[in-house]
Structure 1
Amino acid sequence: MDSEALATFLAVHRRGGVSAAADELARTQSAISRRLALLEQEVGAPLFERIGRGLVLSEVGAALLPYAERVAAAIGDAQAAAEAARTGAGGTVQVVTVGTLANAALASALQRARARQPGLDLRLQTATSAEVSAQVRSGAASIGLRYFDDAGAGLECRTVHTERLVVVCSPSHPLAGKRVKTLSQLAGERWLAFPAPERRSEAFATTVFAQFTTRGIDRLDWIAIDSLTAQKRLVQAGFGLALLQASAVDEELAKRELAVLKVGDLDVAVPVVLVTRQGGYLSGGAKAVLRELMRPVR
């Protein structure tokens, strides 16, 4: 059982299939399948079960997962420490974030970190909240930004700020800029939201639907849109309403491309959490990035 085999196993788990893992690792599908088969032969049992079009961990795979993550993390730490000692610079810092948090505030924080650490090589990747935790836990990323705390072992979670949610609509919507007493009054509208039941769903999506279920509304006319930009453009065009982070629509509101529909009984914010690995190695560059991400958002 070598580190390459475990890295293949982790990639298949993270991406939910051989094809996606092959893309991530820049290998052919046959190479990934062969490496996985050899590992399964070594442990003496299947590591995955096929559910629909994807793969999920078997009982044996679930038992192997935390140990594979520790091995991958230790290798990543060793590589980062060696690079920092060799170059004396900030090194390469892998940051993974939920796509909706890859905004101007994040870009500014990363820019400040680079200014403090000349030669810092920042690599940014987007993922769902669950995937953010998995990548940090396995050492594939040093720092993660996600929604809500992760109660799983091996991670340190710090809430850095909260994202207030607002209902946005087209400026031409009859209720644009107006106020309704309760969200229930908007249950008959068409809504645009991130996919909730899918394997790669975002924790934030659950929060959106919870606003209606807590008010006794379990059926909505809604369209799943797995892109913040696409949601905003469709709302702008009048195809529905969306419950989005206020910071994500500041620019569109300033340009009057979107409007806010005020709701009297809606006062919701979701926590944005900074995730690092307990006991993980942090280079000077990673520490600089952490300092900037922990600065209050204005």
Structure 2
Amino acid sequence: MELSEIEAFVTINRVGGFTRAAELLHLSQPAVSRRIELLERELGAPLFERLPGGIRLSEAGRAFLPHAQQILAGVEDGRAAVRALEEDEAGSITLALVGTLASTQLTTHLQTFHRAYPRVHLKLRTARSDEVSTLVQQGDAQLGLRYFVDPRPDIRSVLAINEPLLVVSAAQSRFFAEEPGEPAALHSVPWVTFPLNVGSSGEPFARVLERQLVLHELDAAERIVIDSLTAQKRLIEADFGIGLLPESSVEEELRLGTVRILPIAKLQTLVPVMVIYRRQAYLSRAARSLLATLAPEANVS
């Protein structure tokens, strides 16, 4: 089994096809196909199902994928360890984060790190929480910032900050004749929320909302289920309902005056923002310094 074969397999899965993978790997498509054939022959099972509309992982491919990702990530760790022998507190770090977190106090921490370590090039990649975890797991990012603890056994999560969740409505909402101050004032108002089904990127936020609604006897309220934070905000702006949203996610809408925060302190709550990294990953001195800046409680040798 060759590393080039594993790299071809992971790349095809990531980009969704042989042609695009060949372009990224600077190979011909037949060369990529040959690598997959050799890998499938060694594993004794097909890794992809060829469908009229494209490809998808076979059952064997789904079983092999996390191991292939760990192999590539381990190789990248080895390269980083060798580079670190000469680079000391220099080089580059890739940090994957949920985009809205750039509006939190974490930005100040990143500025502090940049001033303290000017020779370190910090690369930022934005993604959803589940995508942040995948980037870290695959070794495409040394550290990640996401909401909630990552459940994967090979990922460690360390608390960075707790971010407020606030009740948000349209700036001029038809649901309120006067400023609501208590949860009971919302008994007939629909809530815009993420799906509760396991696997949804927003499922933890949906569970937090459900807990708050049950706690304050609002669980009979209508739910407008949307698996997109941006779409949720547009519906709230259009006054279809209200939402319980991260403070950082509505910064622009508050500035533009399209939404407002309802002063209902009993419904406001906090959600954890976690720094994540692979448990078996090699973290350079610079990466450990960034981790300590973002999460002072982290204990990484």
User: Who is 1:80 aligned against?
Assistant: 80
CA change 1:235–1:181 in 2 (3 A) is closer
Q: Could you tell me the TM-score, scaled by structure 2's length?
A: 0.76
Does the CA-based 8 Å contact 2:72-2:138 persist in structure 1? yes
- 2:154: which partner in 1? 154
Number of positions where the alignment pairs a residue of Structure 1 with one of Structure 2: 291
The residue type equivalent to 2:132 in the other structure is V
The alpha carbon displacement at 1:203 in A equals: 4.1
Once the two structures are TM-superposed, the CA of residue 212 in structure 1 deviates from its matched residue by 8.0
Against the structure 1 CA distance between its residues 267 and 190, is the aligned structure 2 distance closer, same or farther, given a 3 Å change threshold?
A: closer
- Please say if residues 195 and 226 of structure 1, whose CA atoms lie closer than 8 Å, have aligned partners that are also in contact: no
1:178 to 162, 177, 180: 180
Could you tell me how far apart the structure 2 residues matched to 1:182 and 1:49 are?
Answer: 53
What is the TM-score of this pair, normalised by structure 1?
Answer: 0.76
What does 1:129-140 correspond to in 2, within 5 Å?
129-140=129-140
Q: Distance in 1 between matches of 2:54 and 2:194?
A: 20
Q: How much identity, in percent, do the aligned residues show?
A: 33
Work out the CA distance in 1 between the residues paired with 2:42 and 2:106. Answer: 43
Provide the aligned C-alpha RMSD in A.
4.0
> Which blocks of at least 5 consecutive residues in structure 2 are unaligned?
none
CA contact (8 A) 2:167 2:267 kept: no
Query: 1:246 is matched with which residue?
Result: 247
Give the corresponding residue for 1:283: 284
My pick for the range that moved more, 44-53 or 161-170, is 44-53
What is the CA-CA distance between 1:162 and the residue it aligns to?
Answer: 1.9
Q: Distance in 1 between matches of 2:155 and 2:11?
A: 19
- For 1:51 and 1:217, how far apart are their aligned partners in 2? 44
Matches within 5 A, 1:1-298: 1-14=1-14, 17-18=16-17, 22=21, 25=24, 30=29, 34=33, 35-48=35-48, 57-174=57-174, 175=176, 177-182=179-184, 185-186=187-188, 188-189=189-190, 191=192, 193=193, 201-207=201-207, 210-211=210-211, 214=214, 216-217=219-220, 220-227=223-230, 231-232=232-233, 235-236=236-237, 238=239, 240-250=241-251, 252-253=253-254, 256-263=257-264, 266-295=267-296
Superposed CA offset, 1:79-103 (max 9, x none): 2123233344421111112233233
Unaligned segments of structure 1, at least 5 residues = none
State the SS of the aligned residue for 2:105. Answer: helix
Aligned with 1:102: secondary structure? Answer: helix
Contact 1:157 1:276 in 2 (8 A): yes
What letter is aligned with 2:223? Answer: L
Tell me, in whole angstroms, the C-alpha distance in 2 between the residues paired with 1:178 and 1:65: 51
CA contact (8 A) 1:72 1:139 kept: yes
CA distance in 2, matches of 1:291, 1:189: 42
Question: Contact 2:103 / 2:251 at 8 angstroms: preserved in 1?
Answer: no
